[in-house]
């Protein structure tokens, strides 16, 4: 377990979501290469970047190099504002954090459904870039499976299930001021954009999905009955669209592209036929997609991640109580993940031992057939070889089961022993 670590910069460490932005890197491959140039014994690394957190989940081939990794990583990244320090977790603490994170227990919205999809996407990206080693492969397969079990134990009555559903619910507060015939535009192809589109489609809204690569959202648009346009088409030919009631955006764009001027053009076009007076902007991106100066116009209402964060702070006690219900399941899931990691990583070692045993047994059998059993016929020799091969297979199964049982029992004893020492 000591080979695994995580460096965490979330809304909890930063306080303000915009202070996470410096660590939203353009190229994780560059960071990966620079760390290796520094001699860091990296096994694998996954980069997670969401609206409210940035995390580097990594493995080392030398478990004593965590401090070196953290110091080198921080040097490669832009400096953070004074007083902000990321969390550095290793071993069991890192696993515990990742399990809670995948289950939605460390999110701004308790039990949110988006984080699991975001983690899965981050893992798949690392795998394609050949930055996920065997430990990370075993870890993430188990994390995603255990998260479903834990999520089912959380009491989420009257609680939103995602940042997207919470954000889009704010639209209901403004519906009386919006044109029911106007369109709702969703920009982006990530989990939050998909969730928002899903939520709005259930209320029968006229939806327009916008993305730099329209093909990425076409299948989803077909399923929910939405129109699709490219990002450039929407930004440059907005006047060709009908009235727009709201824009929901969650992209990785580095700058705020929805400016006061752009939003005003939509308002003015909406008002040209006296069909609508207001426009709602829901910005779930970090860094923000919407410029704060859009609120200069009284007809524009802005829902930002900061406003969502403040609203969630008011509900903190209720979220904490619900999260505590899941804690009893955390330890069970954590133990299963640890055991599967030990078992999975011991596989190559067991295979190596079995190969040595097989080669040694074959050498002894050949010596025996050439010496004391040299008088046997070819048929008898084949019979002995067949028996030896089957016996070797049977012994391999016993050997593997025995070694895995020994490792599991040893690990269980070690955990119990540490727990007892900690309680003294």
Closest CA to 337 of 144, 100, 139, 150: 139
**Sign of the torsion angle spanned by Cα atoms 119, 124, 130, 133:** positive
Average of pLDDT values for 264-269? 84
Closest CA to 337 of 411, 422, 421, 397: 411
- The two most distant CA atoms of the chain are separated, in Å, by 107
Contact, 306 vs 286, CB < 8 A? no
165 SS3 class: helix
Give residue for tokens 């070797």: 392
> 291 versus 148: which is more confidently predicted?
291
- Phi then psi for 402, rounded to 5 degrees? -65, -45
> 350 versus 363: which is more confidently predicted?
363
Percent of the chain at pLDDT above 70?
80
- CA geometry: angle 194, 156, 302, nearest 5 deg: 45
Whats the size of the chain, residue-wise? 424
**Sign of the torsion angle spanned by Cα atoms 401, 404, 407, 412:** negative
Average of pLDDT values for 104-108? 74
**Which structure tokens are listed for 417?**
């022993």
Query: Across 14-151, where does the E strand assignment appear?
Result: 42-50, 53-60, 87-90
Pairing outcome for strands 206-211 and 87-90: unpaired
User: N- to C-terminal Cα distance for the chain?
Assistant: 24
328: pLDDT strictly greater than 80 = no
Using one digit for the tens of pLDDT, what is the confidence trace for 390-418?
Answer: 776 776 666 556 655 665 565 544 444 44
**Sign of the torsion angle spanned by Cα atoms 27, 29, 30, 34:** positive
Note the pLDDT of residue 87: 92
Note the pLDDT of residue 208: 94
pTM of the predicted model, to two decimals? 0.64
CATH number assigned to the domain with residue range 4-158, chosen from the 4 options 3.30.460.30, 3.30.70.1400, 3.40.50.970, 2.30.30.90: 3.30.460.30
> Which of 151-160, 187-196, 339-348: highest mean pLDDT?
187-196
**Which structure tokens are listed for 284?**
């779930």
What class has domain 163-314? alpha beta
192: pLDDT strictly greater than 60 = yes
Give residue for tokens 């031992």: 353
Average of pLDDT values for 8-18? 83
| Domain extents in the chain | 4-158, 163-314, 339-423
Give residue for tokens 């057939």: 369
Note the pLDDT of residue 423: 36
Using one digit for the tens of pLDDT, what is the confidence trace for 281-296?
Answer: 999 888 889 998 888 8
Query: H or E segment at 179?
Result: none
> Which of 54-58, 195-199, 326-330: highest mean pLDDT?
54-58
Note the pLDDT of residue 225: 92
| 103 band by pLDDT with thresholds 50, 70 and 90 | confident
Q: Do domains 4-158 and 163-314 have the same CATH topology?
A: no
**Which structure tokens are listed for 407?**
């490792």
């Amino acid at each position: 377990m000591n080979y695994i670590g995580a460096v965490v910069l979330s809304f909890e460490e930063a306080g303000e979501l915009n202070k996470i932005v410096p660590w939203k890197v353009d190229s994780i491959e560059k960071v990966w290469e620079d760390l290796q140039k520094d001699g860091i014994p990296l096994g694998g690394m996954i980069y997670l970047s969401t609206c409210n957190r940035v995390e580097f989940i990594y493995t080392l081939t030398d478990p004593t190099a965590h401090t070196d990794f953290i110091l080198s990583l921080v040097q490669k990244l832009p400096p953070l504002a004074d007083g902000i320090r990321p969390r550095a977790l290793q071993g069991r603490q890192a696993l515990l954090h990742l399990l809670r994170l995948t289950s939605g227990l460390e999110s701004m919205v308790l039990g949110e459904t988006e984080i699991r999809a975001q983690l899965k996407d981050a893992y798949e990206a690392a795998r394609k870039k050949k930055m996920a080693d065997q430990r990370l492969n075993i870890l993430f397969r188990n994390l995603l499976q255990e998260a479903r079990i834990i999520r089912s134990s959380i009491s989420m009555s009257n609680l939103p299930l995602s940042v997207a559903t919470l954000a889009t619910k704010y639209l209901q507060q403004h519906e009386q001021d919006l044109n029911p015939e106007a369109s709702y535009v969703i920009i982006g192809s990530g989990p939050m954009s998909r969730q928002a589109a899903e939520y709005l489609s259930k209320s029968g809204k006229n939806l327009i999905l916008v993305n730099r690569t329209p093909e990425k959202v076409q299948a989803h648009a077909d399923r929910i009955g939405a129109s699709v346009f490219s990002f450039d088409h929407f930004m440059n030919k907005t006047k060709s669209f009908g009235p727009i009631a709201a824009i929901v955006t969650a992209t990785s764009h580095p700058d705020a592209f929805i400016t006061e001027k752009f939003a005003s053009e939509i308002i003015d076009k909406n008002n040209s036929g006296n069909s609508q007076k207001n426009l709602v902007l829901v910005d779930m991106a970090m860094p923000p997609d919407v410029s704060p100066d859009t609120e200069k116009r009284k007809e524009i209402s802005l829902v930002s991640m900061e406003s969502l964060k403040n609203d969630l702070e008011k509900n903190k006690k209720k979220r904490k109580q619900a999260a505590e219900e899941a804690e009893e399941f955390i330890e069970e899931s954590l133990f299963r993940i640890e055991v599967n990691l030990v078992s999975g990583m011991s596989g190559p070692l067991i295979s190596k031992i079995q190969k040595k045993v097989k080669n040694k047994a074959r050498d002894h059998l050949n010596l025996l057939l050439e010496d004391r059993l040299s008088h046997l016929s070819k048929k008898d020799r084949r019979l002995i070889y067949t028996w030896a091969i089957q016996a070797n297979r049977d012994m391999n199964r016993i050997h593997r089961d025995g070694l895995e049982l020994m490792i599991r029992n040893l690990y269980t004893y070690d955990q119990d022993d540490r727990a007892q020492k900690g309680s003294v």
